Chain A
């Protein structure tokens, strides 16, 4: 048990501790808050590097895995043990989250400089980091779920940071509720898992729920539909991932989440939080893949994995098509993130953990880079977000342009030099070899084409052509902090300060370098994660299968880039109100895409209306049926009471009184009989005797 495993809990604890101090602090100490937050992330990053190093020099067979658990609460006879695990998957995520987080913290110091709620912002950011890191290291599904909820909470707080904007508040609520629906699935999965395996620890020395013993029992248990219990639990947990990573049915909250400040979008909705869903599927991959028939490339195929693949593929193509028709710079990137998440899910489904995770890591860097880039563009254009009002920023922001171009090429998947190409190629390669069906592969290719196209459209609209911001300066200006910003004399966009551009440059560097880690020639990343032996071998590149695929994907990328440059680069857009080229060509399809396939309206129509109706029904029932019952009881009791009084009054009392009076008269009458004269008594006795004799004789006769 190396020291780092024992102290792994320090990594999430430090930001949590920082968030605590910032929250308690009354006066706005901006410098203290910033240093605390960034400091905690830096130390966390160092510790993550140590953990990464520990996993690296492991030279046993199989995957390095160290577990540390401690008894937390006792219910019934059993003790619930919480704890954390250190294995390559955790190490990589730790390094990625802490490094990207640190850079984004540094960037946001500059970005939020003018905001009064600086303290609150950094407190939430630190809290978010703690939650995310907790998710990464958790060895217990319960601890995982707790941190997962903290992450959900902080995303709600950060999206709704500028809560005085109604749209921000609504977006925050929307995000929170949709993720919550997903979390419900996760919760049910967790409970069922606990019911099945009596433990929520992933790896617990053989007894954990992801280890072979528990997995086989779950496999054997069959549920109603004939599906194995493990698949059902897998799908329920995947539902949580769908909610958090914004897959097709529950993706509606991600684009609206752009209401929050750009570093938030960058950190949460690009790099980390949305990746948590993918990380969750990767973490419980053994559960998903158990019992599957091993495909051609040693990748198991099970029902849950096929479901994941299909959902991933559909989300990819769906989000990519919408991104093409968006005009808000951040919304384009948001849809691009949804599409890339779909790719990751498909990668996990077809290629296994390594493929999915490699794309996740590379995407985290270049998507963070793009978001921060858009952040500095917005910052430069005085909070302007609509691409139609920008243009020609190449001249004003040369550094941002350069960095942004690198990010765009990585995302589009420019061959050989950029990481995006290698990770996407891995996914397409696995999808191609997927035995179940070829459609996901085709969807993946078209998705890649769309990605290249909308990225070039965006870069062209933003950085090339002439600046269209002057025309409607007076009209727009809806952003709240615009007044403090107007102090800039010339209304031209300006370059962002160094504190913002330095992290951009670093990120750009990584966006390029990371690709080489997972090339087919030197699959270090794959070996690291799965523990298999690998060697540097250039000839792998030229193998017929991989080479053909690489050439095909490169061709796709070039066509997408050319198409985009042809439509938007050569004929620059002149005015803001000018109709978009595609809109002119195909207005109906463009309208459909622009309105996001009317999914929101659809939900509005069904779920919201149903909810409203249910509410109305409950109200009606409460008021009339139950209320009515109470009223009825009231009237019945009142009636009964009245009845009792009546009977008591007239029957009981009256009857009793008349009875007493009759008795008294009777008594009086009888008393007259007692004259006191003995002879009268004797006479009466005589008469009685006669009567008796008659009775006896007459009786005898009868």
Chain B
């Protein structure tokens, strides 16, 4: 449990809490970006270099921007009206609390957790590439097909938007 690890942990958790609790949506988005970069730092500490950089590229680079765009497009940049929570918010928090206690209890005293930390695995880009291309080639192609499908769907989406505006 190196100090650096704790710091990044705290940073991500704070980012997450703020992302969920701030009133202004843009602030939430930025807090989320902070949380994601914190998680990327955690990845780097867990010697998953490629995933860390990918995390930054995908989440902080693309999804944050996407969400911010969405916020602007739905004109909810300004401070919202009086209450920010839905009607049944208390039950929601209760359930999440229960979920956390369950997971925490499971993590803390489950016997299956190995005590010693194994040596840092070598996850160079080459053997990630090899793994991708040999063992995991099928999922790779499926994901590519999936993203293609999304793009095709979005294209129709935009067409609807145009039609939406016209009508």
Contact = CB atoms under 8 A, between A and B. Distances in A.
Nearest to B109: A697
B102 interface: yes
A679 B92 contact: yes
A693 B92 contact: no
Contacts of A687: 95
Given A679-B86, A679-B88, A680-B88, A697 B95 contact: no
B20 interface: no
Contacts of B112: 700
Given A693-B106, A697-B106, A697-B110, A683 B88 contact: yes
A689 B95 CA distance: 10
Interface in A648-702: 677, 679-680, 682-683, 686-687, 689-690, 693-694, 697, 700
A686 B95 contact: yes
Interface in B51-94: 86, 88, 91-92
A259 to B, nearest CB: 115
B150 interface: no
Interface in B22-51: none
B110 A689 contact: no
Nearest to A680: B88
Nearest to A696: B106
Contact of B96 (A680, A686, A700): A686
A682 B110 CA distance: 27
**SS class of chain B's interface: helix, strand, loop or mixed?**
helix
B98 interface: yes
A680 to B, nearest CB: 7
A690 B92 contact: no
B57 to A, nearest CB: 29
B154 interface: no
Contacts of A679: 86, 88, 92
A680 B99 CA distance: 16
Given A683-B95, A697-B110, A690 B88 contact: no
B98 A683 contact: no
B89 to A, nearest CB: 9
B103 interface: yes
A662 B110 CA distance: 43
Interface in B114-162: none
A693 B102 contact: yes
B111 to A, nearest CB: 9
Contacts, number: 30
B91 A690 contact: no
A700 B102 CA distance: 15
A680 B96 CA distance: 13
Contacts of B102: 690, 693-694
A683 B106 contact: no
Contacts of B88: 679-680, 683
Given A693-B106, A697-B106, A686 B86 contact: no
A249 to B, nearest CB: 107
Contacts of A677: 86
Contacts of A680: 88
A672 to B, nearest CB: 15
Most buried by B among A677, A690, A694: A690
A679 B89 CA distance: 9
B99 A689 contact: yes
Nearest to B95: A686
B95 A690 contact: yes
A686 B99 contact: yes
Contacts of B103: 693
B99 A690 contact: yes
Contacts of A697: 106, 110
Contacts of A690: 95, 98-99, 102
Most buried by A among B88, B95, B99, B103: B95
A683 B92 contact: yes
Nearest to A693: B102
Nearest to A691: B102
A75 B19 CA distance: 111
A687 B96 CA distance: 9
Contacts of B106: 693, 697
Contacts of B99: 686, 689-690, 693
B91 A683 contact: yes
Contacts of A683: 88, 91-92, 95
Interface in A289-325: none
A694 to B, nearest CB: 7
Nearest to B106: A697
Contacts of A686: 92, 95-96, 98-99
A677 B92 CA distance: 13
A679 B106 CA distance: 26
Nearest to B96: A686
A682 B102 CA distance: 17
A429 to B, nearest CB: 126
Contacts of A693: 99, 102-103, 106
8 contacts: A679-B88, A683-B92, A683-B95, A686-B92, A686-B95, A689-B99, A693-B102, A697-B106
Closest 8 CB pairs of A and B: A686-B95, A693-B102, A679-B86, A690-B98, A683-B95, A690-B102, A697-B106, A690-B99
Interface of A: 677, 679-680, 682-683, 686-687, 689-690, 693-694, 697, 700
Given A683-B95, A693-B103, A697-B106, 7 more contacts: A677-B86, A683-B88, A686-B92, A686-B98, A694-B102, A700-B110, A700-B112
